[in-house]
Structure 1
């Protein structure tokens, strides 16, 4: 991203554990939407998806979302696969 203080930049070094051919949504998008949703009070995967759908116009100012907002199952599956140490390191750096 162009802004060096963007949260997206701090989380861009996290390894994506998914098979490339199955990726409909970028890891950056999944992480950014999740982070924003939780900051705004989301308390589960369904609420993260609901937040994304409610704020899609705003999110598209920062993210490329050609396939829309990921489903709650996608948020759950992808975030559950991430290396906790990498995720923690990105939060600490941010």
Structure 2
């Protein structure tokens, strides 16, 4: 997390960023969803925290946690978090001697109760990249509208190490720029096709509809099946 600049006055800092980040991360992982709950958990687990960070200056209050996160640069934090997660994956791969990220799934979600009808605030849309094997969210980007997922997906993929991975996504992400990003970064892709791409769907139907399976031969398999395309 060294990439994240501390915006506070250096001479007045009692609670370093690394301690604050670890407290917030650990608390979030066990279900804490507000600053007060995070402070309570940190105090309850102070002995455990002391094995990771210096707690000699005490546990930061809920107000301190909230203030620090309101001041830090969100772009820097996101980049640092993604980098940290990928380091975890790399360490795991080194220990096991195998690639642990065969599939990265792209998914757009809308956060519940993130809108406000009284003020006209629209709901928050997020684009996530999810490792299906390790069950870890590798990174996410906020979009103003759900339709903006198309532009957000390539930007998010560029932040990740997707070489030799398989990228999967629903029909909304079946876009040329997303495919190009996968190819440029050495990834394979598996994208759904629906009526949002009528010409492509028609070509697939034309090519596959009358194909019949052939006998299984190594190393090539010439077998096609068309399902749920209508």
TM-score by length of 2: 0.36
The corresponding residue for 1:87 is 77
User: Alignment partner of 2:76: what SS?
Assistant: helix
The whole-number CA distance in structure 2 between the counterparts of 1:66 and 1:12 is 21
Note the C-alpha offset of 1:22: 1.4
1:35-58 CA-partner distances (Å, limit 9, x unpaired): 000111101000010010010000
The whole-number CA distance in structure 1 between the counterparts of 2:46 and 2:4 is 24
The corresponding residue for 1:24 is 14
The corresponding residue for 2:26 is 36
Q: Does 1:46 align with 2:36?
A: yes
Structure 1: runs of 5 or more not aligned: 1-10
The corresponding residue for 1:64 is 54
Note the C-alpha offset of 1:92: 1.4
The whole-number CA distance in structure 2 between the counterparts of 1:20 and 1:66 is 18
The corresponding residue for 1:5 is none
Q: Aligned residue pairs: how many? A: 84
| RMSD after superposition | 0.8
The whole-number CA distance in structure 2 between the counterparts of 1:26 and 1:65 is 10
Structure 2: runs of 5 or more not aligned: 86-230
Specify which structure has the higher proportion of strand: 2
The corresponding residue for 2:66 is 76
Note the C-alpha offset of 1:73: 0.3
Note the C-alpha offset of 1:13: 2.1
TM-score by length of 1: 0.85
Q: Rg: which structure is higher?
A: 2
Note the C-alpha offset of 1:12: 2.6
The whole-number CA distance in structure 1 between the counterparts of 2:26 and 2:2 is 16
Note the C-alpha offset of 1:28: 0.5
The whole-number CA distance in structure 2 between the counterparts of 1:12 and 1:41 is 26
